A and B are shown apart, each in its own frame.
Chain A
Amino acid sequence: MSLIDWNRQCEPELTSESDWMNRRSFIRCAGLFGTAILLGGCFPEVKELEEIDFDLERAQSAGLPGPDQLTPLRKVTAYNNFYEFGTGKEDPASFAHSLVTEPWTVSVEGHCENPGVLDLDQLLEAQTVEERIYRMRCVEGWSMVIPWQGVSLGKVLERFKPLPQAAFVAFETLFDPEMMVGQRYPHLPWPYLEGLRMDEAMHPLTLLATGLYGKDLPNQNGAPLRLVVPWKYGFKGIKSIVAIRFVEKMPPATWANYVPSEYGFFANVNPEVSHPRWSQRMERRLGEIKRRRTLPFNGYGEEVSSLYTGMDLKKWF
């Protein structure tokens, strides 16, 4: 699992976007550190060399779906689904400035030995902040490649010593219509809720993100703390988390409860399970003209498909 080897402590001098972009072509970088992180095993090994020599810029300008390339910061911060600030894609960027993220406390509750209310520093103390470059696939058929900073969710959860009956972890977003203008309207039943099965939460790919592109998380991307589960659709990545609960039964998840026919609790990226409004076979990577094929588990199948052996993923979509 080269992804884990590749993670390094976050270095402040690597943080500006131009530095990010200047690290030669991103593929070279990934190639150096083991392409499997980014490509997630989606391309056969033999292709790696070709990809390093691939002319990314030309491929992009010709609109050909090239290999993965970082989505520019301006797109990552300007095109968001965060209904707490409105349903339009640009609403979060316009209205999220009113969110105050300091101080921020997270309540850890439920079946664990050390519950408590912690401020952000306490929650993250003794954790290594890592860089992770993940594809993000939205259920609406678009995708990005985002360099996150964050801590492994599993390592954070271990500190609270979950009890054996904790089979799921539930998460909750802040509810504060004063700061989150979208919550003044019933776009969704507030607060936003999400959940993971324990093994998904403990999986080394699952990230509790605190930043992107070397900066603290912008408010519209879910400051100060959000979930990133790269093999699931983006809506599983709950933002601005204020509560983490260890629970026995499958917890309610906002979209899965709101429109159960369209969204499931597991929400694994699956090109075989279509959504009424979006075919999931293809996706548009922001910045590209044509669409590319969507990969099962968003290309992270090698790492995560074993979590779902024996499950009918068409039923448990």
Chain B
Amino acid sequence: MDMEKKYPHYTRGWTSKSGSSLKERVQRWGWVVVQSPGVVLGFLWWKDRLGANPVEALHHGLGRWTLYFLLATLLVSPLVRWTRWGFLMPARRTLGLGAFQYGVLHFGLWASLDFDWEWAEIMREILERRYIGWGVAALLGMVPLAWTSPSRAVKLMGGKRWRTLHQLVYFSAGAGSIHFFLKTFPKEGWGASAPYLMVFFFLLSLRAFRIRPKPLRPRA
């Protein structure tokens, strides 16, 4: 939805002199934020600075950033509610698409370098290993969300159905956290995954206790 049209009194002065709206600027900067860890990882890979096992380091890096951006996506609307910084709202889509992008890269690196796209082997791994199953479930959960991310999709579906569908992001974030937990717990214990699990459950509880987000209103 176009913030400037819907809340003209609230968004007055958001359009910059160069003509780009605040929404565009937030999305542009969001995109820069989303791409920078990937750029850093790519640079480190290129310079062979990812340690003794660079493939593993890259794979883990991509996975971690998938989880970070998923949780960041969930954080946007509570943050907007507390701070009334409505202009941050457009960043949600950028962050969500970023999470999907890193998830696809995380999976793609594994499927290509570890399994050479041998689907029979990949399927066997997914079915045999619970933690991989959860990871793949998290990624599959993001597919319809990425698919319906354009504003046009919101219009076609209608806001209510779109919002219902996009509750699926909580499933993906939860499944991603479980994936990370199952992988790290045997070796590192709770330490590695506890922060993400806690953030996830905190954000989930915020969602659970506030069924309908408070509509944005201009500051009194």
Residues in B with CB closer than 8 Å to A291 are 113-114
Chain B interface size band reads 10 to 19
B59 smallest CB distance to A (angstroms): 10
CB–CB A277/B129 < 8 A: yes
B31 smallest CB distance to A (angstroms): 29
Residues in B with CB closer than 8 Å to A281 are 121
Confirm or deny: A78 has a beta carbon within 8 angstroms of a beta carbon on chain B: yes
How many Å lie between the Cα of A75 and that of B50 in the bound state?
A: 11
How many Å lie between the Cα of A266 and that of B113 in the bound state?
A: 30
B176 smallest CB distance to A (angstroms): 17
How many Å lie between the Cα of A259 and that of B185 in the bound state?
A: 13
Confirm or deny: B18 has a beta carbon within 8 angstroms of a beta carbon on chain A: no
A residues 269-317 with Cβ under 8 Å of B? 274, 276-277, 279, 281-282, 284, 286, 289-291
A289 touches which of B51, B55, B128, B131 (Cβ 8 Å): B55
Please, which residue of chain A has its CB at the minimum distance from the CB of B191?
A: A87
How many Å lie between the Cα of A78 and that of B54 in the bound state?
A: 12
CB–CB B51/A284 < 8 A: no
Per-residue CB contact flags for chain B residues 169-180 toward chain A (1 = under 8 Å, else 0) read 000000000000
CB–CB B52/A78 < 8 A: yes
B contact patch SS: helix
CB–CB B53/A286 < 8 A: yes
How many Å lie between the Cα of A286 and that of B131 in the bound state?
A: 24
Confirm or deny: B125 has a beta carbon within 8 angstroms of a beta carbon on chain A: yes
Chain A interface size band reads 20 to 34
Given known contacts A276-B129, A277-B186, A279-B125, A290 and B52 CB-to-CB distance under 8 angstroms: no
Confirm or deny: A26 has a beta carbon within 8 angstroms of a beta carbon on chain B: no
B187 touches which of A63, A87, A142 (Cβ 8 Å): A87
CB–CB A79/B114 < 8 A: no
A274 touches which of B128, B183, B187 (Cβ 8 Å): B128
CB–CB B53/A89 < 8 A: yes
How many Å lie between the Cα of A63 and that of B113 in the bound state?
A: 9
B residues 177-219 with Cβ under 8 Å of A? 183, 186-188
CB–CB A284/B125 < 8 A: no
Confirm or deny: A47 has a beta carbon within 8 angstroms of a beta carbon on chain B: no
Confirm or deny: B56 has a beta carbon within 8 angstroms of a beta carbon on chain A: yes
A89 touches which of B52, B113, B121 (Cβ 8 Å): B52
CB–CB A74/B131 < 8 A: no
Confirm or deny: B116 has a beta carbon within 8 angstroms of a beta carbon on chain A: yes
Confirm or deny: A90 has a beta carbon within 8 angstroms of a beta carbon on chain B: yes
Residues in A with CB closer than 8 Å to B52 are 74-75, 78-79, 89, 286
Residues in B with CB closer than 8 Å to A89 are 51-53
Given known contacts A276-B129, A290-B116, A291-B114, A284 and B187 CB-to-CB distance under 8 angstroms: no
How many Å lie between the Cα of A260 and that of B135 in the bound state?
A: 26
Please, which residue of chain B has its CB at the minimum distance from the CB of A80?
A: B52
Residues in A with CB closer than 8 Å to B114 are 282, 284, 290-291
Residues in A with CB closer than 8 Å to B128 are 274, 279
Residues in B with CB closer than 8 Å to A279 are 125, 128-129
Per-residue CB contact flags for chain B residues 109-141 toward chain A (1 = under 8 Å, else 0) read 000011010000100010011010000000000
Residues in B with CB closer than 8 Å to A276 are 129
Residue contacts A-B, CB under 8 angstroms, 12 given: A78-B52, A79-B51, A87-B188, A259-B186, A277-B131, A277-B186, A281-B121, A284-B55, A284-B56, A286-B53, A291-B113, A291-B114
Interface residues, chain A, CB within 8 Å of chain B? 63, 74-75, 78-79, 87, 89-90, 142, 259, 274, 276-277, 279, 281-282, 284, 286, 289-291
Apart from A79-B52, A89-B51, what 13 extra A-B contacts exist at CB < 8 Å? A63-B113, A78-B51, A79-B53, A87-B188, A277-B186, A279-B125, A281-B121, A284-B56, A286-B52, A286-B53, A290-B113, A290-B114, A291-B113
Listed from nearest, the 7 A-B pairs whose CB atoms lie closest are A79-B52, A75-B52, A78-B52, A87-B187, A290-B113, A291-B114, A286-B53
